[in-house]
Structure 1
Amino acid sequence: MLDVIERCLALSRQARTEQGEALAQTLAALDEALLEARAAIKPADMPPLPSVSSDATLELDLAGYVTAWSAGAESMFGYSAQEVAGQHVLFLYAEDDDDGNIAELFFEHQPGEQAARTEVRRRRKNGDIIWVHLDIELRHDDGGDPVGMLVRVSAANQALSDLDKVNLHARIIEDSEQGVLITDAHERIVSINSSFTRITGYTPAESIGQTPDLLRSGAHDADFRAKVRAAMLGGGAWRGEIIGRRKNGELFPQSVTISAVRDPSGKISHTFSLFSDISVHKDAEARMQRLANYDPLTGLPNLFQLSQLVGQAITETKRSGEHGAVLVVEITRIGAISDTLGHEIGNQLFCEIGRMFRGALREGDVLARLDGHRFAIALLQVEKREHAGIVAKKLLATLAAPIAIAAHSLQVGAHIGITLYNDDGADVSTLIRFADVALAKAAQSIESNFLFYSEEMNQRAKEHLRMESELRHALVNNQLQLYYQPKVSLRSGRIVGAEALLRWKHPVRGLVSPGVFIPVAEETGLILDLGAWVLEEACRQVSEWRDANLIMPPIAVNLSARQFDSGLPQRVAEVLERHHVQPDQINLEITESLLVRGTDKVIAIMNQLVAMGMALALDDFGTGYSSLAYLKKFPISTLKIDRSFVIGLPYEENDCAIARAIVTMAQQLRQEIVAEGVETAEQMAFLRELGCDQLQGYLFSQPVPAAEFAAMLREGKRLSFPNGR
Structure 2
Amino acid sequence: MDFEKQTVVVIDDEPTTLLMLESAIEALAHVITVSDSAEAFSVVAKTQPALVLLDVSMPGLSGFDVCEQLKSYANTASIPVIFITSHSDSEHETTALALGAIDFISKPIDVTLCRMRVKNHLTIQAQSDMLSTMNGKLEAEKKQLDVTLRSIADGVISTDASGDITFINPVAQRLSGYSEAEALGQPINVVMNLRDATTNSVMLNPAIYALEVRRPVAMAYNATLVSRHNQIFRVEDTASPIIDDQGNLLGAVIVFQDVSEAVEMAVKMTHLTNHDQLTGLPNRVLLHDRVMQAITRSFNAKQSVALMLIDIDNFKYLNDSLGHQVGDFIIASVAKRLSAAMGDNATLARVGGDEFACLLTDNGMGFSADSIAMKCLQKGREPIEIDGKSHQLSLSIGISLYPQDAANAEEMMRHADTAMYRSKSKGKDTFSFFSHDLQHAMHHRVETEICLRNALDNDLLAVYLQPKYKFSCNDVISAEALVRLFDENGNVIGPDAFIPLAEETGLIHLLGKQVLRKSCEFVAKCNTKGVDLKVAVNVAAKQLADPGFATEVKQIIDEAGIFPSSIELEVTESALMHDFEQTRTILNSLASLGVTIALDDFGTGYSSLSYLRQFPLNVLKIDRSFVIDMDKEQQAYDIVTAIVQLALSLDLSIVAEGIETKAHYDSLQELGCHYGQGYYMCKPITLDSFFEKYIVKSAVA
Q: TM-score range by the shorter chain?
A: 0.3 to 0.5
Tell me the TM-score normalised to structure 1 length: 0.46
* Bigger relative CO (Cα 8 Å, ≥ 6 apart): 1
Tell me the TM-score normalised to structure 2 length: 0.47
Q: Is the radius of gyration larger for structure 1 or structure 2?
A: 1
